[in-house]
Amino acid sequence: MTSVERRASGSLAAIFAARMLGLFLVLPVFALEAANYPGGNDPARIGLAMGIYGLTQAILQIPFGLASDRLGRKRVIIFGLLVFAAGSFVAATAASLDWLIVGRALQGSGAISAAITALLADQTRDEVRTKAMAMVGASIGLMFAVSLVIAPQLAARIGLGGLFWVTGGLALVCIALVGWWTPPEPLQHKNIPRGKLSEVLSHPGLLRLNVGVFVLHAVQLAMWIALPALLVRAGLPKAQHWHVYLPTVLASFFVMALTLFPLERRGYLRAVFLAAIAMVALVQVGLLLAAGQPTLGTLAALLFVFFCGFNVLEASQPSMVSRMAPPHARGAALGVYNTLQSLGLFAGGAVGGWLVKNVGVTGVFAACAGLMLLWLAVAWPMRAPASRRSANEALADEAQAT
């Protein structure tokens, strides 16, 4: 990586990490703490308060992505962070569950994931793009593991409202990072030919990746509805689940660095990508077989394999989207991609909860295995995107042509 690429990757990974830490801090304690609010005796409304964030994210990812193509990435990112901070402060001062729902919906309205990944793609070359995206993915995974450790202790000291104050403060820190650390945008978004949304939606390679991100995050959330109960049955108390999560996440990052990047450089990205899908599918089969008599060693091993496959897919998919999409429609393409990601989380939570209630955990893992095998079939014809010129050069050529 060049110095600019390292700075762009580091700053945008830090922005993602700070924003996601704020979100993840709330999740482990939200259901318990929200029950203490007026109106919190209704589990369905608590579920709405948790899930409405993903719904507003899904609705606004494409508009924010399109806006970043037209108005510039940094403007859209800063605006989205302000909206997210405002939602955090509304939730922090909420006196009832209704206002908590309003705050969560406003948080989700700051849908900047597509704009951030598009900016990262603009500032990195194709040959290092996956590494840059992996830094973002690793920061998210690490923040998830950290939140599992510190959220209960923080909630005991400052309560749910205090956690939302922390979340809003982290969003304001992110605005400062965008303004003073992230490198300038490579080119002003003026006089650049604009792609149409139909151009993105009709691209076969992008469609395969959009199906993939929907399935991956639906499986992830559905799996996590059932997995904690298996860990408890295996003899690990809830407060100690991070003893399994944190080591397996960190070890999987090490494996990804030793496999994905070298193999991609040698031209084996397609093989690694398909192998990662197969690994996640096999984990679901393993969990299905282990559900009857779960042991801690078996579950830890399966989680390690899951995170190895999941991290490879999290790093490579947005990289491939950014490389397949025309530079002038990169924000739109990543907006569609992130919309399908949010919808996958929503579907995984809703359907996974229904399956646990009506079929049991075996039904969840069987459905997850089936979805992963379906994705493997859809992804099989894919070809790794060819390297092309840097984003700066491509955008400059398009501007000159007009």
User: In this predicted model, what pLDDT tens digit does every residue of 58-91 receive, in sequence order?
Assistant: 888 888 888 887 888 899 999 999 999 999 999 9
Q: What is the pTM of this model?
A: 0.74
Q: 195-249: per-residue pLDDT in tens?
A: 567 778 888 889 999 999 999 988 987 887 788 888 889 998 877 877 888 888 8
* Mean pLDDT computed over 184-196: 60
For 212-263, give the DSSP string. HHHHHHHHHHHHHHHHHHHHHHTT--GGGTHHHHHHHHHHHHHHHHHHHHHH
Q: Yes or no: say if 131 and 261 are a contact pair by the CB < 8 Å rule.
A: yes
390 pLDDT tier (thresholds 50, 70, 90): very low
Residue ranges of E strands in 131-190: none
Span 255-278, average pLDDT:
85
pLDDT tens digits along 343-379 = 887 788 778 878 887 888 899 899 999 999 999 999 9
pLDDT of residue 376: 95
Residue whose pair of structure tokens reads 């039904």 in the numeric block = 363
Domain-wise residue ranges, the chain: 1-182, 197-384
Q: Binning pLDDT at 50, 70 and 90, where does residue 43 land?
A: low
Question: Which whole-number Å values give the CA distances from 87 to 74, 144, 291, in the listed order?
Answer: 20, 21, 39
Mean pLDDT for the stretch of residues 242-267: 82
**Interval 126-138 mean pLDDT:** 76
- Write down how long the chain is: 402
pLDDT of 318 above 90:
no
Name the least confident of 80-94, 288-302, 328-342.
328-342
1-182 with 197-384: one CATH topology?
Answer: yes
pLDDT above 70 for 310: yes
Q: With 50 as the cut, is the pLDDT of residue 339 above it?
A: yes
- Has residue 6 got a pLDDT over 50? yes
Task: Please report which helix (H) or strand (E) contains residue 364, including its range.
Answer: helix 361-379
Q: What is the CATH number of domain 1-182?
A: 1.20.1250.20
Mean residue pLDDT across the chain: 82
Q: What pLDDT was estimated at residue 394?
A: 46
| Range 297-304 average pLDDT | 94
- Residue 386's pLDDT is 64
What is the third-level CATH fold of 197-384?
Growth Hormone; Chain: A; (1.20.1250)
Confidence (pLDDT) at 97? 87
Long-range CB pairs of 380-389, under 8 A, 24+ apart, other chains included: 380/274, 381/208, 382/205, 382/208, 382/270, 382/273, 382/274, 383/205, 383/270, 384/267, 384/269, 384/270, 384/273, 384/320, 385/126, 385/205, 385/320, 385/323, 385/324, 387/126, 387/127, 387/323, 388/126, 388/323
pLDDT band for position 275 (cuts 50, 70, 90) = very high
Residue 290 has pLDDT above 50, yes or no: yes
